[in-house]
Chain A
Amino acid sequence: QQKVQQSPESLTVSEGAMASLNCTFSDGTSNNFRWYRQHSAKGLEVLVSIFSDGEKEEGRFTAHLNRANLHVSLHIREPQPSDSAVYLCAVSTSGYNKLTFGKGTVLLVSP
């Protein structure tokens, strides 16, 4: 069964500094990776989707995928206090739409 782990559990960065979040997965056949953001007591907002090794940029959010290392990361350029939220990594395998989520990283951006 797919295991998805995120690190760190929490992260504090200053406004304008780069924020980097990590996600490891256990199933090497996984090919569908998404990063979601969840503000307190709200639903999930999809930030970026990536399906092949390399980099995918969506505005200030960039995902890096290295399937050989079972690792996908999210980098947030010039984070703002409004980016303070829980960031969730979600993974699925080829032919399936079932997502397995990590437990999340709590990001706090201080002014």
Chain B
Amino acid sequence: EAAVTQSPRNKVAVTGGKVTLSCNQTNNHNNMYWYRQDTGHGLRLIHYSYGAGSTEKGDIPDGYKASRPSQENFSLILELATPSQTSVYFCASGDGGTGRDTQYFGPGTRLLVL
């Protein structure tokens, strides 16, 4: 069964601080994704990756960086966290097939930026 884990599950950060959200998948999927979910907006794509060493900008990349050091791991980095980045962040891995990618989601990370 698909297994995507995220850490931490909850995080409180201060404005201007650096935050790193981690995602690990054991599915051996090439594709990985970071979304944020906010009331009134639904899920929005921040960054994604098609394999180790690659990262691509999604629909709302400003203020975020991503890193894919290996097939299994995909990190989202907030260099200078702001209160507007308070949200729930979801990571997903995808089983490939351009246009037919099924994405499997992790449990989410709740981030509060004070």
Partners in one complex: yes
Say yes or no for A7: interface residue by CB 8 A criterion.
no
- Please report which residues of chain A, range 37-92, place their CB below 8 angstroms from some CB of chain B when the two chains form the complex: 41-46, 49, 51, 88, 92
Minimum CB–CB distance from B97 to chain A (whole Å) comes to 8
Say yes or no for A32: interface residue by CB 8 A criterion.
yes
A45-B106 Cα distance, complex, nearest whole Å: 9
Say yes or no for B16: interface residue by CB 8 A criterion.
no
The answer to whether A94 touches B106 (Cβ under 8 A) is: no
The answer to whether A97 touches B90 (Cβ under 8 A) is: no
The answer to whether B98 touches A96 (Cβ under 8 A) is: yes
B interface residue count range (under 10 / 10 to 19 / 20 to 34 / 35 or more): 20 to 34
Say yes or no for B34: interface residue by CB 8 A criterion.
no
The answer to whether B43 touches A101 (Cβ under 8 A) is: yes
Interfacial chain B residues near A94, Cβ < 8 Å: 99
The answer to whether A44 touches B90 (Cβ under 8 A) is: yes
Known: A98-B45, A101-B42, A103-B41. A43 touches B99 (CB 8 A): no
Q: Considering only CB atoms, which chain B residue lies closest to A31 in the complex? A: B99
The answer to whether B104 touches A103 (Cβ under 8 A) is: no
Known: A42-B107, A43-B108. A97 touches B94 (CB 8 A): yes
The answer to whether B98 touches A95 (Cβ under 8 A) is: yes
Say yes or no for A99: interface residue by CB 8 A criterion.
yes
A43-B99 Cα distance, complex, nearest whole Å: 22
Interface residues of B (CB under 8 A from A): 4, 31, 40-45, 48, 58-59, 90, 92, 94, 98-108
The 6 closest A-B pairs by CB, nearest first: A97-B101, A44-B105, A43-B105, A103-B42, A101-B43, A43-B107
